[in-house]
Amino acid sequence: MLEKIYKKFDKEVFSTFLETNPCSNCYICCTSKYSQKVSELELAYLKDFIIKNHLLEVYYKDFIHFLDLRMKKGNKEPETVCPFYDISLNKCIVYPARPFSCRIFGNFAFSFDSIPASCIYYNKVKVIKEKDLIKIPQMDSLASLVAVWRVLHLFSFKKQKLTVQSR
């Protein structure tokens, strides 16, 4: 289901860019300079992708640390690069499973200041208000899926806890 949402978004937003890396050797948005939020559902999907593709699981732990760094206000380490970005290959090694927030960068922003002027999307970015976030293609489907996943996850967690307690 999440995969379908990602694919629909990519098809709708990236059109001809799908098979190539239009960013060449730029990876500014893959550094801790820019903040990013990732839902637990997407993290679980990413972890699954890493395991299935025999990528080092340690990358996943590093990514969680990287997300913490990204969310810190006044981050003093702007040069920290996402552990999934391979500088020698100029690419994201989890590209098919990269989170939604990675996909929307450059395409949608709350202000022009939030993306670098050198970004290839700078003149194409759609500036939106925070309340209009849901208007981003596939955002409504993603929000619904995340909400359902959270409830199911909580339910299975509580069930597991009860099973352990009753032993």
Binding site for ligand SF4 (CB under 6 A): 23, 26-30, 82, 84-85, 92, 94, 98, 102, 105-106, 116, 119-121
Is 119 or 139 the residue whose CB approaches ligand SF4 more closely? 119
Q: Least distance in Å: CB of 153 to ligand SF4?
A: 22
Is 10 or 121 the residue whose CB approaches ligand SF4 more closely? 121
Q: Nearest-CA neighbor of 75 among 116, 33, 114?
A: 33
Is 32 or 145 the residue whose CB approaches ligand SF4 more closely? 32
Rounded to the nearest angstrom, the gap between the alpha carbon of residue 40 and the centroid of all alpha carbons in its chain is 11
Is 122 or 157 the residue whose CB approaches ligand SF4 more closely? 122
Q: Least distance in Å: CB of 70 to ligand SF4?
A: 9
The DSSP call for residue 135 is G
Calpha distance 22→143 (Å, rounded): 28
How many other CB atoms are there within 10 angstroms of residue 19's CB atom? 6
Q: Least distance in Å: CB of 163 to ligand SF4?
A: 35
Calpha distance 104→73 (Å, rounded): 21
Rounded to the nearest 10°, the torsion over CA 16, 21, 24, 29 is 100
Q: Least distance in Å: CB of 80 to ligand SF4?
A: 11
Q: Least distance in Å: CB of 106 to ligand SF4?
A: 4
Task: Tell me the helix, strand and coil percentages in the chain, rounded to 5.
Answer: 55, 5, 40
Is 28 or 146 the residue whose CB approaches ligand SF4 more closely? 28
